[in-house]
Every structure is written in C-alpha cells, then in structure tokens.
Amino acid sequence: MSDETKVGIFVLIGMALFGTAIFLLGDYSFQTYYPVYAEFKDVAGLPDKSVVKLSGVEVGKIKKISLKGDKVMVEINVLDGVEIYRNSKFLIGSTSLIGSKFLQIDQGDASAGVIAPGGHVLGSETLPIDRAMAKAVEDIQELVKDFRGDGSMTRNLNDILSNLREVTANINEIISTSQPHAEKAMERLDSITARLDAMLAKTDELVDKINRGDGAMGALVGDKQMKDNVTATLTNLKDASVSVKDMLGRISGFRTYWNWQWKYDPLANTSKNDLGVRIYPREGRYYYLGGANIINTRDRSSAPDYEVKNTVDAQLGWEMNGFDIYAGAVRGSGGFGVRYSPFHSSSALDKVRFLFEASEFTRRRYIKTRFFNAPRFDAGVDYLLNRYFSAGVRISDLAEVRRLNYTTRVMFEDKDIAYLLGLMSFGASGAASKSSK
C-alpha cells in the first residue's frame, strides 16, 4: 500500500470521527419532532435543552425560551407520534430539591382532544423553591410577631395547655380508679370459670355412677323413676352450668385491635390515612369498621389523584391456614380482599404478607375528567418489622391508572374495648335468656 493511500485512509477516518463528534455535541438526531408552545409567568430557572417528560417518560426537549411581554414563551419539541391532550398540565419539575429542572406534563383526558403541532397552551404556575422557602421564613416571622404582640396569643395558648393538662389528669384518674376494679372482675370471672369446670366434671362423674348403679347413690336410686328424676335434674344442672360458662367466656373471648395505615403516592405527592378497629368475637373470625383515604379535601396534589376521599370500610373477615379473607364495604364500595402469608407455618419466617383486593365492579363514571369503566384491582406486599409495625408497597387500580403507593401500618391491641364488648355481650345474653322464659 502506497503512502498516498495510507494518508487518504487516515484522513477519511479522521473526518468520520470529526463528523460523529459534531453530530453528538451538536445534539443532532434522526428523530422528527413537532413544536408546542407553552406560556408561563415564571419558568423558575428552566434551562434551554432540558428534557420534557410526559407522565414521567421523556418525550422531547426544550428548544427555546424567550420573553413575550410579561410572559415567558417556551418552545417545546415533542417526538412525532406522541399525543398530548388539551387539558394536560404543563409545569416545572425538578429531579430533587436542588436538582436539575425539566418540563413536566401531566397527561389529560383523551375526550378533550389532542394538541395540534404549533399549538399554544398555558403552563401551570408553580412557586420556585427559593421563593417558597422565603415565603415560609416570612410566615414564620409573622407568627413570631403575633406571639410578641400584646401577648394575648401566648396567654390563650397557655390557657389551652392548662385545660388540656387538667383534662388529661382527670382521664388518668378515671383509668387508674377503674383499672383495679376491672382486674378484680376478671380475676373473679376466672375463678368462677374454674369452679364451673370442676362442678361439671363432678356432675359427669355422678351421672355416670347413677347410670351404672355404683355405690350408695346407685343403691338409693334403685327405683327406675327416682333414677330418671335424679339423672334429669343433674343433666339440667350441667346444661345450666355450660350456659353460664359460655356467657362468661364471651367476656374474656373478645379481642380488639386498632389499625392505622399511612399511604404515600409519590406521583401525586399526597398521603392518605386508613384508621379503624378490628374486633375478634372468636378465633379466626373478625369484624372491621373504620375510615379509608382520610384526607383534607382542600389539599392540592402535583398530579391528578383519582382516589375517592373520606370513605368507609365495613368488612367481615376469616383467618385460616395463612389466609385472611374479607368482604364488605371496601373504600365505600362493595368488594373483597385476600391476604396470604406464605411462611405462616414458621414463626421465624412469617414476615411477608401478599395482598389482592377487588372492588367497584360496576364502575362507570368520570373522575377528574377521566372516564373509568373497569373494576378496581389492588395488589401489594407488606413486611412485618415486628408485631406492631409493618411497611410495604401497593399498586392501586391495576386496570386503569396503576399508581404506586408506599405504605406503613401500625396495629396494636386494646384490651379495654374488648372487655367492654364482652360485658355488652354478656348483658345481651342475659336479656335474651329472660325474654325466652
């Protein structure tokens, strides 16, 4: 190969590398885009060439940012084939508190139509972080001024705290006064139950001896009529003792647990709470009553939140062989759910709970301008850190919007409510017995 040929090949390779570098550094692309213009009052430091994300997926880039009067015009290049609906929200996002800015688009509803190439939209007004922090400091300063004013707010707060301490002291006194009596009552019930067990055992033994004709009692009731009368009397006594024992067992048989669950939706940047009480009248069966998605309805979210707020849960559940199956009102609508513990046979490994829940089977309605026509299905997994606390993840509404939620759950036993329910059951049993006579 001649020197001229080698030099030519070297030059061609160098030109190819140079062209590739220009292509990459110049941000050229073979993809085609169409323009959309968004108008803002303040872009909060959004730079040129920053990315555009639709529902978290990158779909384009910022081409140019310019001033138009007292407004800021942002020219967006959107990939061909990506449809953005007219009622979508355009706002300034950030990868973190001090991270890079990008243009965030929250997809709207298809019924509103598609933004045509070259279309104009209004951007949502968001407060920049630095201004938000300055406003927070200003609000704190105003609060401090209110405290330092004429001292009325401080005096009112002191009065409130004094009243609260007084109420708390009264509650503590009531609890401390009633607790010894409740404990003594439970001790008496245990003693009565033990005596009934002993009496039932002796009654069974006595009836058995009479039937066999053993001993003095058997000889005494040699007459068949007398024997039948004595046997019937002892059988009635046994039945009455069993009934008394059953009613007493109801008092100590109840178990109640408070259940609080906190759910956080990172996309909407909102959190909700579920609070209720689970009542076990006997082993393996429970009733649950509480509120779901408890939240202040005036709170704002950074993305559409399709959850129905402040609803009611009322369910009947069964626990057996690692399964927890429940049905009833789930977030205010008819449904059912299943929790499963795959390692329930081992107390050391029984930490994981899988969840599947179905509800709203006849859902046909608009929520936040979006039409929902499929039942709601939720799935998730929890990990028990200890007997009271668990954490996990849940994907809600799998058939429609598929939102990821982080969850924490706190569950603890309340023996006072269980004792109260037992007494109510005992009283109801006694009233029913009197009315049947």
Is it the case that residue 282 has pLDDT exceeding 90? no
Q: What is the pLDDT of residue 212?
A: 62
Strands 51-54 and 101-106: parallel
Q: Based on the number of CB atoms within 10 Å of its own CB, is 418 exposed (0-12), middle (13-18) or buried (19 or more)?
A: buried
Alpha helices in 106-255 (DSSP H): 129-148, 152-212, 215-220, 224-253
Residue type, 307: E
Is it the case that residue 107 has pLDDT exceeding 80? yes
Q: What is the pLDDT of residues 344-397, one digit of tens each?
A: 887 777 889 999 999 999 888 888 788 898 999 999 999 988 878 899 999 999
Distance from C-alpha of 246 to C-alpha of 244, rounded to nearest angstrom: 5
At residue 418 the predicted structure's pLDDT band, cuts being 50, 70 and 90, is low
Q: Based on the number of CB atoms within 10 Å of its own CB, is 293 exposed (0-12), middle (13-18) or buried (19 or more)?
A: middle
At residue 206 the predicted structure's pLDDT band, cuts being 50, 70 and 90, is low
Q: What is the pLDDT of residue 41?
A: 86
Question: pLDDT over 70 for what percent of the chain?
Answer: 61
Q: What is the pLDDT of residue 131?
A: 64
- Cα dihedral across residues 284, 290, 295, 301: positive or negative: positive
Cβ neighbours for 240, distance < 8 A, ≥ 6 positions apart? none
- Burial annotation 328-367 (CB, 10 A radius, 16+ → b, else e): bbbbbbebbbebebeebeeeeeeebbebebbbbeebeeee
At residue 185 the predicted structure's pLDDT band, cuts being 50, 70 and 90, is low
At residue 423 the predicted structure's pLDDT band, cuts being 50, 70 and 90, is low
Contact 334, 361 (CB under 8 A): yes
Is it the case that residue 432 has pLDDT exceeding 60? no
Q: What is the pLDDT of residue 392?
A: 93
Q: What is the pLDDT of residues 236-268, one digit of tens each?
A: 655 555 555 555 555 566 788 889 999 988 888
At residue 295 the predicted structure's pLDDT band, cuts being 50, 70 and 90, is confident
Structure token digits, residue 300? 């704002």
Element (H, E) at 58: strand 57-68
Distance from C-alpha of 156 to C-alpha of 138, rounded to nearest angstrom: 23
Q: What is the pLDDT of residues 38-79, one digit of tens each?
A: 998 888 778 888 889 988 888 998 988 888 888 889 999 998
